[in-house]
Structure 1
Amino acid sequence: MKEGDFMKMPVLDLRLTEENLDDLYDNAPCGYCSCLPDGTLVKLNHTLLQWLGYQREELVARQCLQQLLTVGGRLHFEMHGVPLLLLQGHIREISYSLRTKTGAAVPVLLNAVLLRDANGNPLVVRVTLFDITDRRKYEQELLRTKAEAEAQREQLRSQNEELIRINADLDSFVYTASHDLRQPVHNLAGLFQEFERSATFHDPASANMVGMFHEALQQLLGTIDGLTEVVQQQRELAQAPAEAVELQAFTEEVIRSLPAAVGEPEAVFTLDFGAVPTLHMARPGLQSVLYNLLSNALKYAQPGQEPRIAVRTAYHDDMVVLSVQDNGRGIDLGRHGGELFQLFRRFHPDVAGSGVGLYLVNRLVHLAGGRIETSSEVGQGTTFRLFLPK
């Protein structure tokens, strides 16, 4: 074989380029027909006849184009399509349904061109029809999916409204119940104090029982006060407008209001708000969040160790991050992570507390449109990161 022989192409047989125009017309992938100005059919291709299920002699010179349309399509074609065809000489992509011999419907897009004679009189209408059965099914599926999505959205909206109403009712119930219980419990505490003052106990175990009763009474009072605080704080946040809060001065004010730990080293606070000096939030809600996080950092400090607490701000994914970090006892998140923000959950029984603070912080942050991430290691400290909208 000589060099370059593999590049030679066979001689082109020009007969391959010859096309039978009648065959192209008859077996085109779309339907063709021609009709007189009154709609009388005079020519149809084989494709259209297959769609309709008719023989050619059943339609040519026997039926009109309008008769192949459904009732609604016929009215539209006569009232809209024909006048438009006479006015501008063509119509483009009008959606109709053809009625087959068996009564079935074939959705199509109709295009038509009006040809005139030398005097301008209508001569013949050439019609092209495209089968859009698959497209119609796709559109119907889209409409069905959209309707289902709308129904689900409406159901979710209704459920959300119901949950909001239930939460409001629960908050009202909790507030009313805690308010109504407070006075009887205080009366009980007063009666018990009078009982302790006036009664004489001869059983050596009595002192322990009295102490246990007193502790249980204080726990009950703490629970009632905690419930009241939770509901009251949420109501205040809902009513208070969001405002621009200068974090440096605001946090310093919160720190000054913290109770001092008797007999423990003084805490060292590090404040860094250089990245985000101002936070847009309701002042009462922010005050409660910072107070609870900072007071917890002091309350759960390592015994005998200097508490070091850092409060910082930063930006992350178009949100403001307010972080509170301490070097305290830490929390075993592997064991207690799922319960961290539950109401009345406490993880250091030897430290006095109501188990309300973190629950309240979490609720207030979520009401403000944010979320909380927590990292902690037992004996090393805890960091709370509050992601808040700008």
Structure 2
Amino acid sequence: MHNNLRILHLEDEPSDALLVSHALKQVGFKFDCLVVDSKEKFLEALDDFDPDLILADHSLPSFNSFEALELLGSRENKIPVILVTATMSDEFAVNAIKRGAKDYVLKDRLGRLPSAIKNVLETQQLEKEREGFLFQLQQNERKFRRLIENGADAVAILSPDGTPSYVTPSLKKVLGYSEKEALELNIYEIIHENQRECVQEKFLECVANPQTTFDGYSLRARHKNGSWRWLEVTLTSFIEDSAIEGIVADFRDVTDRKLADKALKESNIRYELVSKATSDAIYEWDVTSNVLVWGEAFHSMFGYSQEEFSSTIEAYLEKIHPDEKNQIIKSLNSGIEGKENRRIAEYRLKKADGKYASVIEKGTILRDENGKALRMVGAIQDVSEKEKLEELLDETYRFARIGSFEIVCEKNSLYWSPVTKEIHEVDMDYNPTLEEGILFYKEGKSRDAMSNAYSKALTENLPYDLELQVVTAKGNVHWVRKIGRPTFVDGKCVQINGSFQDITKIKNSELEALKASEEKEIILESIGDAFFMVDTDWKVTYWNRHSEKLLECTKEEILGKNLWDVYPDAIGTKFYTSYQKAVRERSIEDFVEYFERADKWFEVTAYPSKNGLSVYFKDVTERKQSDLQIIGLNKNLKAHTEELVEANKGLEQFSFIVSHNLRSPVANILGLVELIGDKDYQEEEKNSFLKALFDNVKRLDTVISDLNAILQVKVEMDAKKETVVLEHLVDTIKSSIQNLIDKEKVHVTTHFDIPAIDTVQSYLHSIFYNLITNSIKYRRQGVPPRIEIRSEIKEGTVIITFEDNGLGIDLIKKEEQVFGLYKRFHHHIEGKGMGLFLVKTQVELLGGKISVESEVNKGTKFTITFKEKTLNNISDYEKTTLHVG
């Protein structure tokens, strides 16, 4: 099948390795096998033996298959791994495959191992062929890159948000950016702001239509030198293609072509565009031929059809009001014969219905090189409605008492409109200076504010909008609103314009409203219920003193803030859903609900309005006392449920471990019995099978003994509790192992702030004994063991710590295995890996928890915590005794 296959077998049980070897020989496998049982031998074999395949049991005393897979993952040569183990849960199998195992075979089903090896090796061969194909593909890809990177067009791969993942070097020819600079850009940063939204929409359309080409799309992009360049772009989405994962954009510079097209188009359609784009009546008069052409707006503006209005200048002049006709003809002739090219005139023009419209005409005269008039182009604007509106606006401003002002900075002059003069109660012929204008503002806050705002407008180009008091020329005090906008030219303020409004009546109304609001607040503060209000954005606008008391939140802490930002714990509760419903459905909501933060029951009524929500509530906790008791019972039930869940998890773990350690020797015994009965084997081989059979019987007996010891621990939980003095307990344990302490020069120190505990004495003795002997067993070579034991109480919790200076544990890799059954971390030291498992079991049966801190060659610290139950004084010791468990 596979000649000279080199198999590295990670296994610590010789009989298991023997059965695996036999299963392969039965089907004709030709192989060399090397069995190793430690990390050191495994690493050495990887280099020296150079295996084609690795078979691995999962759990060895100081090494496991997951650690082996992690070591293999860092090696360039990928060696396939098949797990051969006694038991395997679905969750464990999935985890193993994720970590790199190619397959797994159970030890009691070794008949499947040959086919598993064949499949894994064939799959590996296919992967090697695939890698060769990918290498060739990469070579072809490099050739393709050279072609596109040296073309005239630029190519980029972009994400939908405009981030480039690849650009060709030719981008520098098009937009001036190097590859590095381009990859640090976002495409939307260099696209003209008027086109960004359109480009984003085009990208989304492209993504929605994969592998569809969108071409002929033009946009403007900023060149590195700051100029704007027109690009013609072709887009194709390959988002779903794993080799590209982006939008491929091919673009070229078409700026010169674009500018030429634009100039030609503007030349041909200028007149048509202007005619349609404006409401003014556009005209063009050929002075030489006397042909007068009107834009479309002329006919709609004045009511004439094209047929009834002759295209001559004389026909137009006949429509001008008789009182103004001669003057307009005179000014027109003067313009044609003179040298001025600009023309502005105001007059009345007769409409088709016989009425006259007030118009403003603005024109430009075009001349030849000798100054002779050739054409005149311009526009006529109907200002009849504008004049009416201006008259109406003046009346409106006068009614609203809104005037205007203007400051000309160079002349240092101030202009007031008539309404502004009325507000100041001065004569209409009064012309104030800047200094006089400032003095009208009431001395103090108003005058200072106006002076400061004027200074900032003049020097910093800052507009202002102020409410101030002025003292009029007649001594009356008025409230005014003054709005000013500065105009800057070449960095210098040339003028300030704005409005000036009398708001005395508005201010008086505000003061009356404020007074009414204060009266309302007195009423709301005096009612017996708590009350608050929020606006449509859930910002708190009112919060009375009862709300402060019941919800333990002051006005200063909540006014102006979002209700749900202050009370995020209310989101999802009935308070939140009921308030939301009241606002959404415009309904009054009544309910009774418990608020955990305040530890109170509230009876609530919420009233919606167009401005937000008003909420009344009161404390009904006493009425709901019986319900609170039910809540307490529910909390206790939840705690007990969590304890049961945790206990069930421990039981599942225990069951899995015991199953693994029972199943493996039983499977081996069955296999070995079958081999002993096989007549094809020699007596010497059968003797080796018989020895392996006895070894597995001993393994099975050990597991059963361990199981009995663990079950005995759980049975003893009903033992009577008694007072255990910790110092005496440690002395007793030290006496029982005095020879070991003397031999290894062990130094044990104690510091018991809590000297005695009421608990199950046998459990606590076992816990202390195992932790002390564990520290001695895993000491550092040549370093006398030091063990420090402490007890203290923190926040109602009894804490007992055991700290040593021993070998320590690599918790980064072993933390989850520390308290596991049959877990050992130093294979050179004898042991079964039961001590810490029993410690954890006994601690949890007493209602406590145990945790570990450790660092290799720096020691280990175990921390046991018990919840305090009662506190008594012991007369014999005059110290504190804690009842735990």
* TM-score, normalised with respect to structure 2: 0.25
What's the CA shift string for 1:80-113, capped at 9, x where partnerless? Answer: xxxxxxxxxxxxxxxxxxxxxxxx974589xxxx
- 1:236 matched to 2:716? The reply is yes
Describe the shift of the 1:138–1:338 C-alpha distance in structure 2 as closer, same or farther (beyond 3 A): farther
- Residue pairs, 1:164-179, within 5 angstroms: none
Q: 2:857 & 2:650 partners in 1: Cα distance?
A: 39
Where structure 1 has 5 or more consecutive residues not aligned to the other structure, the ranges are 29-103, 110-129, 140-145, 189-200
Question: In structure 2, how many angstroms separate the alpha carbons of the residues matched to 1:320 and 1:161?
Answer: 19
Q: 2-side partners of 1:138 and 1:218: how far apart?
A: 75
Which residue pairs with 2:700 in the alignment?
220
d(CA) in 2 for partners of 1:315, 1:161: 23
**Residues 305-338 of structure 1 deviation map (CA, whole Å, 9 limit, x = unaligned):** 4333222223444423222222322211111111
Partner residue in 2 for 1:246: 725
Residue 607 of structure 2 corresponds to 132
Greater CA drift, 250-259 or 357-366 = 250-259
Structure of higher CA gyration radius: 2
CA–CA separation in structure 2 for the residues paired with 1:306 and 1:18: 87
Residue 132 of structure 1 aligns with an amino acid whose one-letter code is Y
1:311 is the counterpart of 2:804 = no
1:265–1:306 CA contact under 8 A, matched in 2: no
- For residues 205 and 214 of structure 1, the distance between their equivalents in structure 2, rounded to whole angstroms, comes to 12
Within 5 Å, give how 1:1-390 maps onto structure 2.
Answer: 5-7=443-445, 10=469, 11=477, 16=509, 106=588, 132=607, 156=638, 160=642, 163=645, 203=684, 213-237=693-717, 239-258=718-737, 261=740, 265-303=743-781, 305-390=783-868
Deviations 1:259-294 (A, max 9, x none): 9559x9334232323422123332122111111111
CA 1:333–1:224: 2 relative to 1, 3 Å: same
Deviation at 1:357, TM superposition (A): 1.5
Displacement of 1:168 in angstroms is: 10
Structure 2 unaligned segments of length 5 or more: list them.
1-437, 447-467, 470-476, 479-503, 521-585, 592-604, 619-627, 670-681, 869-885
Q: Which moved more, 1:343-352 or 1:11-20?
A: 11-20
* Equivalent pair of 1:374/1:383 in contact (CA under 8 Å): yes
Distance 1:204 1:301, change over 3 A: farther
Task: Say whether the 8 Å CA contact 1:322–1:385 is kept in structure 2.
Answer: yes
1:131 offset after TM fit, Å? 5.9
Classify 1:163/1:317 alpha carbon distance in 2 versus 1 (closer, same or farther; 3 Å): closer
Does the residue aligned with 2:743 lie in a helix, a strand or coil? coil
Partner of 2:483: none
Call closer, same or farther: CA 1:348–1:161 in 2, change over 3 Å: closer
CA contact (8 A) 1:274 1:313 kept: yes
User: CA contact under 8 A between 1:265 and 1:307: conserved in structure 2?
Assistant: no
Partner amino acid for 1:229? Answer: A
Question: 8 Å contact 1:258–1:291 — kept in the other structure?
Answer: no
User: In 2, are the aligned partners of 1:223 and 1:354 still within 8 Å (CA)?
Assistant: no
Task: Choose between structure 1 and 2: higher strand proportion.
Answer: 2
Partner-residue secondary structure (3-state), 1:232: helix
Give the match's secondary structure for 2:815.
helix
Aligned 8 A contact 1:267 1:298 in 2: no
How many angstroms apart in 2 are the aligned matches of 1:166 and 1:229?
20
Aligned equivalents of 2:735, 2:824: Cα separation in 1: 25
Report if the CA contact (8 A) 1:324-1:385 is conserved.
yes
State whether residues 606 and 615 of structure 2, in contact with CA within 8 Å, keep that contact through their aligned partners in structure 1. no
Q: Which amino acid aligns with 2:509?
A: L
Q: Which moved more, 1:333-342 or 1:299-308?
A: 299-308
CA shift, 1:215, in A, is 4.5
CA contact (8 A) 2:726 2:752 kept: no
The CA distance in 1 between the partners of 2:512 and 2:782, in whole Å, is 100
Amino acid across the alignment from 1:330:
G
Amino acid at match of 1:276: I
2:716 corresponds to which letter in structure 1?
E
Q: Could you tell me which amino acid in structure 2 is paired with residue 249 of structure 1?
A: H
- Aligned partners of 2:511, 2:859: CA distance in 1, in Å? 87
Equivalent AA in structure 2 for residue 314 of structure 1: E
- Kindly indicate whether the alpha-carbon contact (under 8 Å) linking 1:297 and 1:328 is maintained by their aligned counterparts in 2: yes
Aligned to 1:286, the other structure's residue is in SS state: helix
Q: How much does 1:368 deviate?
A: 2.6
Distance 1:304 1:215, change over 3 A: farther
Looking at structure 1, the residues matched to 760 and 444 of structure 2 have their Cα atoms a distance apart, in angstroms, of: 82
Residues 375 and 106 (structure 1 numbering): CA distance in 2 closer, same or farther, change over 3 Å? closer
Structure 1's 273 and 348: CA in aligned 2 closer, same or farther, altered over 3 A?
same
Deviation at 1:257, TM superposition (A): 3.0
Distance 1:250 1:286 in 2: 9
Cα deviation per residue 1:140-195 (whole Å; 9 max; x = unaligned)? xxxxxx9xx99x96995795586489589879999xx99xx9xxx9xx9xxxxxxx
Provide closer, same or farther for how the CA distance between residues 265 and 18 of structure 1 changes in structure 2, counting only shifts above 3 A: closer
Structure with the bigger RCO (C-alpha within 8 Å, sep 6+) is: 1
Residues in 1 aligned to 2:850 and 2:805: alpha-carbon distance in whole angstroms = 19
SS, match of residue 863 in structure 2:
strand
Tell whether the 8 Å contact from 1:311 to 1:324 is kept in structure 2 after alignment: yes
Percent identity between the aligned chains? 24
- 1:6 to 1:136, Cα distance in 2 relative to 1, 3 A: closer
Q: 1:327/1:363 Cα in 2 relative to 1: closer, same or farther (>3 Å)?
A: same
Q: For the residues of structure 2 that align with 1:380 and 1:165, how far apart are their CA atoms?
A: 33
Question: What per-residue deviation string (whole Å, max 9, x for no partner) do you get for residues 339-360 of structure 1?
Answer: 1112222212232322221122
Letter paired with 1:362: K
Aligned Cα root-mean-square deviation (Å)? 5.1
